Amino acid sequence: MFFKLSLRNVKRSFKDYFIYFLTLTFAVCIFYSFNSVADQEAMQDLSASQSDMIKTLKQLLSFVSIFVSVILGFLIIFANNFLIKRRKKELGLYMTLGMGKYKISRLLVTETLVVGILSLAAGLAAGVFISQGLSLLTASMFDVDFTGYAFVFSNDAMLKTVLYFGIIYLLVMVFNSIVISRYKLIDLLTAARKNEQLKVRKTAVSVMLFILSLLILGIAYGVMLKYGLMESTALVWTCVGLGSFGTLLFFMSLSGFALNIIQQSKNIYFKDINIFVLRQINSKVNTTFLSMTIICLMLFFTIGVLSSGFSLKDAMNRDLEAATPFDASVGLFIEENSSIKDIRQAEQKLGLDLDSYGETHRFTRYQTDQSLKPLLLPYKDKSSEPLVDHFDQTYVTAIARSDYEAIAAMQGKKPVKTKDNEVLLLSSAGSTFKDTFKRFTRETKTIKLNGQTYSIAGNVIDFASSTDFKGLEFLTAVVPDQAAVSMKPLHSITNIQYDGGERAKNDYLYKLLSASMRGQLQKEQGFTLSGATKTMVHETYTGASAITVFIGIYLGIIFLISSAAVLALQQLSEASDNAERYTVLKKIGVTKKGINKAIFRQIFIYFMMPLSLAILHSIFGVQVVNKEIMVAGGGNVLLSSLLTGLIIITVYGGYFLATYSGYKRIVK
Amino acid sequence: MDSVLRVEQIEKYFGNKGNVTKAIDNISFSIEKGEFVGIMGPSGSGKTTLLNCISTIDHVTTGNIQINGTDITQLKGGRLEKFRRDELGFIFQDFNLLDTLTGFENIAIALTIQGRNPSEITQLVEKAAAKLEITSVLNKFPYQMSGGQKQRVASARAIVTNPSIILADEPTGALDSKSSRLLLDAFEKLNDEMQATILMVTHDAFTASYAKRILFIKDGKVFNELIRGTDSRKEFFSRIIEVVTLLGGDTNNVF
């Protein structure tokens, strides 16, 4: 009997619950999909560095999932609270009929359980399919070649989803019981009649607050644009704080003030029933500026992360070929107090026979006494500025002419001939410094290295003398062999082109080099190796960008759904209060079409308000991020913005339409 | 012919076969331009049903209702909505003001619904407000107004569109006697000075005494008709009371 009542309640209010149910299902679906990705078939056949990457991703995902479940927990409790508010009268009726609070709680618990189980089942079912697509996307992001495709159901992810959402639903039940136990019967029965008090703020105060909010936002934007993300973490957080506060002030003041402006424009104000629509929104912004602010910030995060994430991915994958001319390069840091002075010695000590890997060439890279900063500072531009500013300890490096010729030959390139008093300048960071170098070689004809003045031969050439992570050879001078000998040796490097059996060689070198990076080699052998394999560089860049994009998309979509759901639920829960107002409008002669138009405008403005400010924030935010990305090689902002726009329009627009039709149904 | 409203032999049945209630049983009357007519009757006499039929909210079962020469029983859908919007002005017992709008906006919205030219709206609202002496509350919200002020704002909303006929349903029902008097004085003024045609339903004899003519309805039929003529309001009031007593029910509202 009891169960029947709850079941019927769920069924009857299914239309009202639709958005709630939809959100729960979405949340479950996304939660499962992202957590199951690492278990997918496509992720099984990986190289050593790739599986490390996936491990990192999995760890990150489990952290992020905790954060996500906290957000979803809040969202679900919030949504549930709205639904209870709507049903106050019904609950009051149960109470007058003699149902105790304990029983009502039990009724609600059963209802939550039914909705919970249904949404879990639906979400998991959808998730199983979505995750297949997601795994394909992930595989392509990580550049994994998957040969066989199999349908995978991840038990781990399912258990995790059920556990996390089980906890959330349990919290909802506890929360409901507390709320119910605190209600008084009289409040429940008269709930519908209680009107929210309208807060009226003075216009002058609103205008002042508004101007203040614009100032604060302007300062935050300005500081970020000027100093960028890398200057100092404290500065970034201050700007984020300022921006958030500015947003809050913006929405707080907007209501008292925007109306006044619109009232001046008689053509808008006196058109249709805009008077009513404006007042509706105005009365709500007065009381919901806090949620508006949070939604705006969440949307900003979503837009920012999605669009810069996509362009980061794009940027990271550029110039990879140019930076990796050899299958592998292993380099030794030459230290004065170490007995190992040469890469060959290091190889012997490690028992590593690199010559058996394929064609090899060994050379030394030297350091000159010419600092880079005074050289390039006058020619810096937007793209090179962040790097040039930090070049205090960076010097022009040098290689001997004979080495250059051998390396070029090994790369299958024709070496550029130079005279004895000439140097050739090389760089592997050409995409960032392109214009800077152009201006530099146009204006500067000579360069002084270790007391010797050389004339510069032609332009700076895009050339990497070894395979390494991108853009580390900022500027290398090719000097005569006898001049190189007197310079300070920096690296001793072996370049290798494999002759087959790549996988095993790659994995061995990857392990060796990553052990060196962790400092293990220094401890055990007393020296440090640098360098990379071609695969490693590719996988690190694609992997790093893929992880960023992946986590970004995960959080972004959760935030997007959360904000859209909050907006939708707010609107719908107010729809029943507004139903009376719409009845009055009907009585004084507004047509059905006119009413629908008013509802549309009201919801549209309500949805657009946080979105438009978020878009404005993002325009600045993405610019700041792009400045950093340009250092990494520049990305395609337009494409990623379009992609982001598409996601937002689909999810946000979907919620908007669902709200609109739900609202119409309630008002009718 | 100057009849604003002509009601011809209308009947209204509720219920279905075997269990029919005749709410209106063959009523006919007409109202000339500039008349102020009251409809009185005990509860259940059919006066609200009659008003609903005239105001196009409800449909008659048989008979015709003509307003300004248009037979409203033949109108449907969009034309009906348009007719109601342009030709009728409503005043309700519970005001039906929009609580989120100021007094000014509550009046202006009636004009914006009609799609009037924005430039003339402010002037029209102020003129209507001046007639009803509510200029001082135009910038207030309904919850900052007294009941009488609210009802006068609602009345301003009804007259601002210059409708053919103003239909008032128990306009003083929710007001105290002082506010009622103020409101009715305003009605009288509107009627005298602007030749506004008013049809007012009430069961309160004092309210009715402001009208120029009163139709008494009982059991869905016109039971009696009183014309004020040259009587003072006090004399008219006494005559109304006589009829009410004769009518039987509802004396509670008088004594």
Contact assignment for B84 to A589 by CB distance below 8 Å: yes
Residue A228 backbone class (left: φ over 0; alpha: ψ -120 to 50; beta: rest): left
* Rounded CA separation B165/B36 (Å): 10
| SS3 labels along B31-92 | EECCCEEEEECCCCCCHHHHHHHHCCCCCCCEEEEEECCEEHHHCCHHHHHHHHHHHEEEEC
Residues A355-402 pLDDT 10s: 888 888 999 899 888 888 888 888 887 777 777 777 778 888 899 988
Tokens of A457: 């031969």
A24 — phi, psi (to 5°)? -60, -45
End-to-end alpha-carbon separation of chain A, Å? 32
Distance of CA B52 to the CA centre of its chain: 10
Q: How far are the Cα atoms of A440, A483, A494 from residue A424, in angstroms, in the given order?
A: 14, 14, 22
Partner residue opposite A275 with nearest CB, options B88, B101, B119: B101
**Inter-chain CB pairs, A–B, below 8 Å:** 73
Q: What three-state secondary structure class fits B117?
A: coil
Identify the residue whose tokens are 């005569």.
Answer: A480
Q: A40-49, A189-198, A420-429, B94-103: which range is least confident on average?
A: A189-198
Partner residue opposite B109 with nearest CB, options A266, A273, A592: A273
Question: Residues of A at the B interface (Cβ-Cβ below 8 Å)?
Answer: 195, 198, 266-267, 269-276, 279-280, 282-283, 581, 584-585, 587-592, 594
Nearest CA-CA distance, residue A383 and chain B, Å:
53
Closest CA to A656 of A561, A562, A568, A559: A568
DSSP state letters, A441-498: HHH--EEEETTEEEEE-SSPEE--SS--STT----EEEE-HHHHHTSEEEEEEEEEEE
Closest CA to B200 of B172, B243, B165, B167: B167
Residues of chain A with C-beta less than 8 angstroms from the C-beta of B98:
276, 279, 581, 584-585
Q: Which fold has domain B3-93+164-253?
A: Rossmann fold (3.40.50)
Helix pair A101-141, A2-12: axis angle to 10 deg: 50
* Rounded CA separation B58/A146 (Å): 71
Who has greater pLDDT, A343 or A636? A343
DSSP state letters, A160-185: HHHHHHHHHHHHHHHHHHHHHHH--H
Q: How far are the Cα atoms of B37, B88, B132 from residue B33, in angstroms, in the given order?
A: 11, 14, 21
* Rounded CA separation A77/A171 (Å): 8
Q: Which residues pair with A607 in a beta bridge?
A: none
Q: What three-state secondary structure class fits A331?
A: strand
Residues A569 and A319 sit within 8 Å (Cβ to Cβ): no
**Mean per-residue pLDDT, A260-280:** 84
Contact assignment for A272 to B97 by CB distance below 8 Å: no
* Rounded CA separation B234/A358 (Å): 122
Residues of chain B with C-beta less than 8 angstroms from the C-beta of A592:
81
Residue A509: pLDDT band with limits 50, 70, 90: confident
Partner residue opposite A587 with nearest CB, options B90, B99, B141: B90
Burial A243-263 (b: 16+ CB within 10 A, else e): bbbbbbbbbbbbbbbbbeeee
Tens-digit pLDDT string for chain B (255 aa)? 578 899 999 998 887 777 888 888 889 999 999 999 999 988 888 888 898 899 888 888 899 999 988 888 888 877 888 888 888 899 988 888 988 889 999 999 999 988 888 889 999 999 999 988 899 999 998 888 988 899 999 999 999 998 989 999 999 988 888 889 988 998 998 898 888 899 999 988 999 999 999 999 988 888 889 999 888 989 999 999 988 888 765 445 444
**Number of C-beta neighbours around residue A551 at 10 A:** 18
* Rounded CA separation A633/A429 (Å): 9
Mutation target vs A (from B88, B92, B98, B114; most A CBs, 10 A cutoff): B98
* Nearest C-alpha in B relative to A281: B100
Confidence at residue A207, expressed as pLDDT on a 0 to 100 scale? 86
Partner residue opposite B118 with nearest CB, options A195, A198, A266: A266
Q: Has residue A319 got a pLDDT over 80?
A: no
* Rounded CA separation A192/A185 (Å): 13
Pairing of strands B62-67, B70-71: antiparallel
Who has greater pLDDT, A630 or A210? A210
Contact assignment for A588 to B110 by CB distance below 8 Å: yes
Q: Has residue A612 got a pLDDT over 50?
A: yes
Contact assignment for B108 to A270 by CB distance below 8 Å: yes
The answer for residues whose C-beta is within 8 angstroms of residue A580's C-beta and 6 or more apart is none
Closest CA to A603 of A270, A283, A290, A280: A280
Residues of chain B with C-beta less than 8 angstroms from the C-beta of A275:
101, 105, 108-109, 112
The answer for residues whose C-beta is within 8 angstroms of residue A637's C-beta and 6 or more apart is A307, A311, A622, A626
Residues of chain B with C-beta less than 8 angstroms from the C-beta of A276:
98, 100-101, 105, 109
Sign of CA dihedral A275, A281, A282, A284: positive
Closest CA to B215 of B192, B183, B247, B253: B247
Residues A467 and A324 sit within 8 Å (Cβ to Cβ): yes
Q: Has residue A314 got a pLDDT over 70?
A: no
